[in-house]
Amino acid sequence: MEYIAKQEQKGGAGSRVVSREEWLEARKALLQQEKELTRQRDRVNAARLALPWVRVDKDYRFQTSSGQKSLADLFEGRSQLMINHFMFGPDWDAGCPGCSFFADHIDGMLPHLNNHDVTFMTVSRAPLDKIEAYKRRMNWHFPWVSSYGSDFNFDFHVSFTKEQLASGSVTYNFRQTPSEQAHDELPGLSAFYKDEQGQIFHTYSQYARGGEEALGTLMILDHAPLGRNETGTLSFVKRKDEYVQKPAANAGCCH
């Protein structure tokens, strides 16, 4: 470390190179901000749990690999249901790269969520055959169903008609969003609860960048020396089979 400080006057991305003592002082100051962020997250989580619920009375239907199912069926015998609103429209050839990036994180979570009485389900408006073909391409195993022909996506403000977009704005992320900032499909995450009587309640939804904390890759990059190194939200993200493999930066000339 001392050798590097003597040889280099600055670190990556213009960072200063300092003594270990000065670095430790700066790191301890940052730690106080990180602790406050953790406490703030705890406060927000408590407020989220305190939100009131809304009963869902509409009979939504979904196309699945084992036939048509209701919203109640999607709980798969558990009391809690998380629905990932995946951007994949009926006329699209492939799923959204950003939603695909999120989907890469799902399979490893499922055993832990299921053990906690939570079912995690992905829903898109694309027909089931398109969904299953894309799922095979990406080598994913999580449950993914089609809401094609249903009002579900529209009612939860993640899909928009041509008429809605032509009106100049759409309701997204609990506000009016200009149409030029929207698409026919947008991402989100919604939570539901089913009680012992079979009543279903909508408890929570988040949109836009609200789900970033579930993206482990982003959380790791936030701690890496150059951060996310992006020019816009998720500007670096591609579908995982579309990345061009780069040689290791420290590979010798003989490799």
Cα–Cα distance for residue pair 109/216, rounded to 1 Å: 11
Q: What is the pLDDT of residue 247?
A: 62
Return the pLDDT at 15: 81
Residue 253: predicted pLDDT = 46
Tokens 């406050």: give the residue.
36
Q: What's the token pair of residue 8?
A: 């280099």
Place of tokens 């061009």: 244
At 209, which amino acid appears? R
Q: Which domains does the chain have, with CATH numbers?
A: 60-213 (3.40.30.10)
C-beta separation of 190 from 158 below 8 A: no
Q: What is the pLDDT of residue 7?
A: 35
Q: What sign does the dihedral 113-212-85-138 (CA atoms) show?
A: negative
Q: What is the pLDDT of residue 16?
A: 87
* pTM assigned to the model: 0.88
Per the CB < 8 A criterion, the answer to whether 153 and 60 are in contact is: no
CA–CA gap between residue 26 and residue 189 (Å, rounded) = 37
Given this model, what pLDDT does residue 1 score? 30
> What local confidence, expressed as pLDDT, does residue 249 receive?
59
The closest alpha carbon to 37, from 219, 166, 242, belongs to 219
Digit-by-digit pLDDT tens for the chain (255 residues) are 332 333 334 445 668 899 999 999 999 999 999 999 999 999 999 999 999 999 999 999 999 999 999 999 999 999 999 999 999 999 999 999 999 999 999 999 999 999 999 999 999 999 999 999 999 999 999 999 999 999 999 999 999 999 999 999 999 999 999 999 889 999 999 999 999 999 999 999 999 998 888 899 999 999 999 999 888 888 999 999 999 876 665 555 444
Which residue, among 250, 245, 221, has the nearest Cα to 233 in the 3D structure?
221
The residues near 151 (Cβ < 8 Å, ≥ 6 apart) are 58, 60
Q: What pLDDT shows up at residue 232?
A: 86
For residues 142-171, one letter each, b for 16 or more C-beta atoms within 10 angstroms of the residue's C-beta and e for the rest, the string is: bbbbbbbebebbeebbbbbeeebeeeeebe
Residue 246: predicted pLDDT: 67
The pLDDT, as a whole number, for residue 160 is 96
Whether 201 and 54 have beta carbons less than 8 Å apart is answered as yes
